[in-house]
Amino acid sequence: MNHRALFFILSSLLFFTIFIPNQRFTPKHKTQLTYILKGIPSGHDTPSIIWKALITGDDSGLPRSAKKAYFRQGLGHLFTPSGVHLATLNPVIQRFLRPGVIYFLLFLITQLTSGLAALSRVALTKCSSKAQTSCIVFAGILFIEGAAFSWRSNPISWCCSWMFLGICWFAPKQSRALWFFLAQLILCWIFNQQLALYSPLTNLLIALPMAFLFPLLLTFSLIPTFFIHSILLKIILWIHLFILKLDSLNSVLPAINPHAGHIILFICWIIFKRKCRFYLPLLLLILSSPLGNKYATDSSLSKWESTPTRGARIMDHNISKIRFSDGTLCRGSFRKESWKEICRPPKRRATNRL
């Protein structure tokens, strides 16, 4: 049994429980990078929106059905610049004499840029070579960063970094894919989202193109648009269509709606010896299947999304409040010389589970 990986899974459940009541759905339509990086396409077509989302994390404008497909395939992390994106730049950064200094400068830059908090945390942990081998160093760095920045601004993002970085760096290599799938299962359970059973395979298929695509997109985001941009947009469209094609396999192998029983089953399957794997986990699965979060709100899948579902009608409105027919409630207020809007996603209807 790997105690370190189990520690990060159990502690993540505790942190989600603590921080989720403080989560706020505050829409932010643009980041500072949208204005600075003039090479990011400004079109409203899907490839341009995905380019913007990959670089800045702003996926506003992407259809809800497409967002659900990405999250169902376990690819929601692509729209949050973080460890996957930084890993594609590691070969370049490691060529410098002091890569730790480069990572620290990257941490400072990303801290000053809205929407890049997850990338900032990864850069900070990489400043120390011991953070990927010592749980104590890793936990110390993340707790200092959380107390100083993330726990006030975006605690759920911090919880995700804690869980996924902990699994990627401290889970045993031979079963890391299982631990990573378990982490995705927990995230889908918490936010009431589906997860495809073959999502680990999807991640492997997308990881290689991303290793080449993200550095190119980052480079040409600095350069005003010319013919290379159209080629990159075609590549993004091909990858997008490929992901949608993979998602269509859910009609044959349906995605699961995670509940507490699935979480317990996977934990027991990984840590128990072979003799117990076939009996106790299945019993726990049956007994715990009614447990879950049926009174939780349905996540909007994105901190950038503030629009109601397609076809929703305005039921009533006044100067500062709008209520839509799908249950979305938006309130606006004038704070610190700027208009701020906060939208609450509709509550999921409780369903009786047999």
| Cα 82 to Cα 187: distance, rounded to the nearest angstrom | 16
> Please, are residues 37 and 55 in contact by the beta-carbon 8 Å criterion?
yes
Order across the sheet with 321-324: list the strands. Answer: 314-317, 321-324, 329-335, 338-344
pLDDT digits (tens), the chain, 354 positions: 568 888 999 999 999 888 876 554 444 445 666 667 788 888 888 899 999 888 888 887 888 888 888 989 988 888 888 877 888 778 778 777 788 888 888 888 888 777 788 888 999 998 888 898 899 999 999 999 999 988 887 888 899 999 999 998 998 888 888 888 889 989 888 887 889 888 888 888 888 888 888 888 888 888 887 788 899 999 999 999 999 999 988 888 888 888 777 788 778 777 776 666 666 666 666 665 554 444 444 444 444 344 566 667 777 777 667 777 777 777 766 554 445 566 666 654 433 332
pLDDT tens per residue, range 160-203: 999 999 998 998 888 888 888 889 989 888 887 889 888 888 88
Task: Give the strand pairing for 338-344 and 321-324.
Answer: unpaired
pLDDT of residue 295: 40
- Residue 144: HSE in the Cβ half-sphere, 13 Å Cα cutoff: 9
DSSP string, 262-309: HHHHHHHHHHS-HHHHTTHHHHHHHHHTT-S-TTSBPP-S-TT--PPP
Question: Token digits for 10?
Answer: 């159990």
SS3 of residue 81 by DSSP: coil
Cα-based distances in Å from 57 to 31, 64, 79, 124, 183: 8, 16, 5, 19, 21
